[in-house]
A and B are shown apart, each in its own frame.
Chain A
Amino acid sequence: MTTSLTKSDFSRRGFLKGGAGLAFFLGAGGLSAVAVRAQNAEPLDVNPWLTISPSGTISIVFPSTEMGQSSYSTLPQILAEELDANWDDVVIAQLNEDDRTFGNPLFGGVLYTAGSTSVQGYYEPMRRAGAQARDVLLQIASRQLEVRKDSLRTEPSAVVAEDGTRLSYGALAASGTEDVQIPDADAIALKDPQDFRIIGQEVPRRDVPAKSTGKARYAIDVEIDNMAYAAVLRTPVEGETPRSVDDAEARAVAGVIDVVTLPDGVAVVAESLWAALGARDLVQVTWSDSSPARAFDSNATLAAYAEAARDPQAEAAVWAQTGDAASAIAKADRTVSHLYLSDYAYHAQIEPMAAVATVDPDGMGAEVWAGTQTQSWTTHTVMETLGTTQDRIRLNMMTMGGSFGRRTAFVQDYVRDAVLSSKAVGRPVKVIWTREDDVKHGTFRPAAAQKLEAGLTAHGRLTGWHHRVATPSVIGFFNPGRWEAVKPNDVISMRGAESKFYGIKDFQADHIITERQARLAPYRGIGAAYTSFAAEAFMDELAAEAGRDPLDFRLDLVEENPRGRHLLEKVAEMSGWRARGDRALGLSFAGYSSSMAAGVAEIEVDDDTGEIAVTQIWAAVDAGRIVSPDNAHNQIEGGIIFGISSALTERIDIEEGQVLQSNFFDYEILRADRVPQIDIYMATVEAPPTGVGEVGTPMASAAIANAFFAAKGQRLRHMPFTPDRVRDALQSELRLDL
């Protein structure tokens, strides 16, 4: 079987317009609205999930954005699996527009890459899209060979008949879709996981070679003709605006093109970044001075949050509830209560914010290059900035140099600034934030104060759990429209406090929604980054109070969660928990969304300096089916390192509305010489995938705090566990409860 078409390749759209081969797409009506277009097809004004060209190239849409998590490779693998494609035939097509056909099912169809949801959300629809396409290929082959469809099978990228005849997917794609019936996606049979050839295998990431040779291109690298560079002097305090600008000296610098006043800053646009940065230092701005943010002070903020957490009368929204925590605690043999604190934390992604924009001559359209976690809100930002419609915006979603929640905002100021600067100078403009800009104008994991209270029975068992989290609403700041729809439930602020992996009969978690006193954003692990610290450190304190082993104390609570129980037992085995003697081991059990992780940390403490060295981490993880095991391992390990880093050093301070830290010398993140050995076990389970990007983070801090108790008999209740706090803890023989 040959094809009369010799053209070897097609661009996705060109291919559709050329009208040869197959394109599949999921319409607004969902999966059942699949259409198949053949040689005489009208050009389609939609993006298909996949196209198969006569050359055999299979182009699969990547609907998320890539920041290191590798869904760029993993999501297309899911579709390719059900299509039974040869992975080497697959090319990946980044979705570069706000086309909700491809929306994230776990974010109401918004194109949003966050919350470890990509594999979880797209697993089912992308499998079904692949299976549908495979079925159509079988139908074409059946027609062509005049054999029954069910006598055919597929091998990677080919249909094979009983007599051994092979028809490649490319050849089938070229041969028309007459008489083809579109199968119902909801009813279509999916592969038995035992037959998977791609999912669960060690398929290398697509982006690794480019990222090992310096060839990967990030927003900060984009270069287009006639491009200028902008450095932005941003208002030192949130909410202020430039009142007057003296730019005479800056304009005199060689290479400076213009000085553009922005809503909350001043952009210096020049022929080079060097000139822009130099001239920026010479701009004199008088800022307004009436912003309430001038009063922001992180010490005062945390003190106020602590007071709110301690105040039983403080107004709170119930976040999670089962049974009656208050009466169970009242009836308990003993009650235990402690307060836990955590400071603001910064994302510290190594690529600072950058974006390139070129605004059309009429000022009503633009092409934009940016790395963000959402095509939808980047589109929205440009539309709002120009007062234009979506059809005038051409996006290029760039791979990101890390993000961890940094680029999720509804309004993206760095994108906006590139657009406004380009519009002002009539040229393409690249805006780059320096590291200092990125720290000083960061959006942070909120500070939090948490009061935990629980009861113990005479037999040392848990009875009643009450977790009160005093922290602001993150959603209320970074996406106010969304907050109106979901309030008072803020999953970003509160995740983890539901402690859902334990079966605690009488349980309550409350959100005391405090006043926001910093710019906030989602952050790796979101709420669980601190709620799980408090919950799991407290669990350890309860076990000690009850005179029980921390493992046994927790095992009581996972009777109805056999998968969780398995993880606890596994990590105990890996770490030699039962025979730990006087090794300083700390146990923690937390997770993210529906993914679970049990971890044990081993530490050493330098009593003189107060430095904690984490020497080893063992982790047992259940994230449902693992699509890409090697990458999952890398993500979990990275998540653990992120958690260790925030537990040990990471802290943002604010005084008079200004961030005190400015670069990696005063905002320290974990370096190679402090990285522990990390052993990871991933459970093999028959269950849908639930995400690996954040599962490693939440358990790490409590594992360290609990190991500190094992080593020193003192508690660390304020994260990060900086040397000064560690020394304080070592000196406080009998520390009074806060």
Chain B
Amino acid sequence: MTQFTLNGQSVEIDNPSDELLLLVIRDKLGLKGTKYGCGAAMCGACTVHVDGRPEFSCQLSVGDVAGAEVTTIEGLSEDGTHPLQKAWVDQQVPQCGYCQSGQIMRAAALLAENPNPSRTEIAEYMSANLCRCGTYNRIFKAVEQAAQEV
């Protein structure tokens, strides 16, 4: 039995404690916004926050987050109106959209650390996350827009 906080609510999980956090979030807890892309810390589609830090949920077991606070895209805002999400819509960032939960979660961690990042800082920080559709420049603009609002 592993207990942790998911998007502000306490959850108890009886999956094996070595089971991937990513799969527990998606298949056991039913939150599908966090994506599987590589399972290897290479794409960032699975990015969540653990105690406020951006983590690849494909690299954590559920045991690793015992007692921690985990936030997924579903918990970033109640109604999809986080400044980053609004900026994502304003800038019409997504194409296929598959990478975008991870991008937004990574960007949220960036702004928490550095409320006024330069373009270079954004690009560097966001380099953990791949976007095969090539929406990077829009991501940069959206992060800059949100930074103005936060």
List chain A positions with a Cβ less than 8 A from chain B.
Answer: 67-70, 204-205, 207-218, 220-221, 223, 229, 272-274, 348-352, 399-404, 432, 434-435, 630-631, 634-635, 637-642, 645, 663-665, 669-673, 675, 677-678
Assess the B127–A435 pair: CB atoms within 8 A.
Answer: no
Choice from B26, B40, B45, B89 contacting A208 with Cβ under 8 Å: B89
Instruction: Determine if A210 and B97 form an interchain contact, defined as CB atoms under 8 angstroms apart.
Output: yes
Complex CA–CA separation, A640 to B139 (angstroms): 16
Q: State the CA gap A404–B95 with chains docked (Å).
A: 12
Whole-angstrom CA separation of A351 from B131 in the bound complex: 11
B101 located at the interface, meaning its Cβ lies under 8 Å from any Cβ of chain A in the complex: yes
Cβ B100 vs Cβ A212 within 8 A: yes
Q: Are B42 and A664 in contact (CB under 8 A)?
A: yes
CB neighbours (8 Å) of A350 from chain B are 35, 37, 43, 45, 96, 98-99, 130-132
Does A434 lie within 8 Å of B39, measured CB to CB?
yes
A643 and chain B: residue at smallest CB distance: B134
CB-contact partner of A665 in B19, B42, B98, under 8 A: B42
> Does A205 contact B92, Cβ atoms closer than 8 Å?
yes
> Which chain B residues border A207 with CB–CB below 8 Å?
94, 97
* Distance in Å: Cβ of A25 to nearest Cβ of chain B: 30
Assess whether B149 is interfacial by the CB under 8 Å rule: no
Question: Which B residues are CB-close (under 8 A) to A210?
Answer: 97
Question: Can you give 5 A-B contacts (C-beta < 8 A)?
Answer: A214-B34, A223-B27, A274-B23, A351-B98, A672-B124
Q: Which A residues lie within 8 Å of B132 (CB)?
A: 348-350, 402, 404, 642, 669
Task: Chain B residues near A213: list those with CB within 8 A.
Answer: 33, 73-74, 80, 85
The answer to whether A638 and B133 have CB atoms under 8 Å apart is yes
B residues in contact (CB < 8 Å) with A: 15-16, 19-20, 23, 26-28, 30-40, 42-43, 45, 72-74, 80, 85, 88-89, 92-101, 104, 122-124, 126-127, 129-140
Query: Which of B96, B130, B137 makes the CB contact (< 8 A) with A669?
Result: B130
User: Chain A contacts of B33 at CB under 8 A?
Assistant: 213-215
Contacts of A204 in B (CB 8 A): 89, 92
Measured CB to CB, the closest approach of chain A to B81, in angstroms, equals 9
Give bound CA distance, A274 to B137, whole Å. 36
B19 surroundings in chain A (CB, below 8 A): 272, 274
Q: Are B129 and A672 in contact (CB-based, < 8 A)?
A: yes
Most buried by A among B45, B80, B85, B100: B100
A272: B residues at CB distance < 8 A: 15, 19, 23, 27-28
Query: What is the minimal beta-carbon distance from B20 to any residue of chain A, in angstroms?
Result: 6
Contact with B32, one of A221, A639, A664 (Cβ below 8 angstroms): A221
A213–B23 alpha-carbon span in the complex (Å): 19
In whole angstroms, how far apart are the Cα atoms of A350 and B94 in the complex?
Answer: 13
Which residues of B have CB within 8 Å of A670? 134, 136
**A352 to B94 alpha-carbon distance, docked (Å):** 18
In whole angstroms, how far apart are the Cα atoms of A432 and B37 in the complex? 11
Please determine whether A351 and B23 come into contact, CB atoms closer than 8 angstroms: no
The 8 closest A-B pairs by CB, nearest first: A214-B33, A211-B97, A401-B98, A68-B96, A641-B134, A638-B134, A214-B73, A68-B95
CA distance A68 to B99 in the complex (A): 11
CA distance A217 to B138 in the complex (A): 22
Q: Give the complex CA separation of A209 and B88 in angstroms.
A: 8
Please pick, from A68, A351, A639, A663, the residue contacting B35 in the complex, using a CB distance under 8 A: A351
Assuming the contacts A68-B133, A350-B99, asked whether A211 and B36 have C-beta atoms less than 8 A apart, the reply is no
Residue in B16, B23, B137 whose beta carbon sits within 8 Å of that of A678 in the complex: B137
Given A350-B43, A672-B123, residue A635 in contact with residue B95 (CB < 8 A): yes
Q: Is the CB of B96 within 8 A of A399?
A: yes
Q: Assess whether B20 is in contact with A274, with CB atoms less than 8 Å apart.
A: yes
Nearest CB on A from B35, distance (A): 7
CB neighbours of A645 from chain B (8 A): 134
Query: Shortest CB–CB separation between residue B97 and chain A, in angstroms?
Result: 3
Q: Name the residue on B nearest A434 (C-beta).
A: B39
Shortest CB distance B53–A (Å):
19
Taking A212-B104, A675-B137 as known contacts, 20 extra A-B pairs with beta carbons closer than 8 A to each other, sorted by chain A number, are: A68-B95, A204-B89, A205-B94, A212-B97, A213-B73, A213-B74, A215-B80, A218-B35, A218-B98, A220-B35, A272-B28, A351-B96, A352-B36, A402-B132, A435-B37, A637-B134, A638-B133, A670-B134, A672-B136, A675-B123
Between A274, A348, A630, the greatest number of chain B beta carbons within 10 A of the residue's beta carbon is seen for: A274
B31, B38, B129: residue with the most chain A Cβ atoms closer than 10 Å: B38
Whole-angstrom distance between the Cβ of A291 and the nearest chain B Cβ:
28
A346 to chain B, nearest CB (A): 11
Cα distance A404–B38 in the bound complex, in angstroms: 18
A677 contact set on B, CB distance < 8 A: 137
Q: Give the nearest-CB partner of A205 in chain B.
A: B92
CA of A669 to CA of B130 in the docked complex: distance in angstroms? Answer: 8
Shortest beta-carbon distance from B106 to chain A in Å: 10
A579–B33 Cα gap in the complex (Å)?
A: 49
Question: Given the complex, which residues of B lie within 8 Å of A70, measured CB to CB?
Answer: 95
Return A138 CB to nearest CB of chain B, in Å: 34
B42 touches A663 (CB 8 A): yes
Judge whether B73 and A209 touch: CB under 8 Å: no
Which residues of B are found within 8 Å of A641, using beta-carbon distances? 134, 136
List the B side residues contacting A663 at CB < 8 Å: 38-40, 42
Give the residues in chain A near B123, CB-CB below 8 Å: 672-673, 675
Closest to B102 in A: A350
CA distance A403 to B31 in the complex (A): 23
The complex places the Cα of A209 from the Cα of B130 at a distance, in Å, of 20
Residues in B whose Cβ lies below 8 Å from that of A216: 97
Q: Are B94 and A211 in contact (CB under 8 A)?
A: yes
For the complex formed, measure the closest distance between the CB of A231 and the CB atoms of chain B, giving whole angstroms: 12
Q: How far is the CB of A50 from chain B (nearest CB, A)?
A: 25
Which residues of A sit under 8 angstroms from B31, Cβ to Cβ? Answer: 214
Nearest A residue to B99 via CB reads A350
Tell me which residues across on chain A come within 8 A of B124, comparing CB atoms. 672-673
* A634/B95 contact (C-beta < 8 A), A213-B33, A642-B134 known: yes
Bound Cα distance from A401 to B132, whole angstroms: 9
Q: Which residues of B contact A403 (CB under 8 A)?
A: 96
Q: Which of A218, A223, A435 sits near B38, CB closer than 8 Å?
A: A435
**In the complex, what residues of B have CB within 8 A of residue A214's CB?**
31-34, 72-74, 101
Q: Report whether A212 and B130 are in contact in the complex, using a CB–CB cutoff of 8 Å.
A: no
A212 x B133 contact (CB < 8 A): no
State the Cβ distance, B45 to closest chain A Cβ, in Å. Answer: 6
How far, in angstroms, from A435 to B56 measured CA to CA in the complex?
15
Please, which residue of chain A has its CB at the minimum distance from the CB of B16? A274
By a CB distance below 8 angstroms, the chain B residues around A400 are 96, 98
- Are A402 and B93 in touch, CB under 8 angstroms? no
CB contacts (< 8 Å) of A67 on chain B: these are 96
Cα–Cα, bound, A568→B102 (Å): 38
Contacts of B104 in A (CB 8 A): 212
A148 to chain B, nearest CB (A): 43
Q: Is the CB of A435 within 8 A of B40?
A: yes
B48 to chain A, nearest CB (A): 11
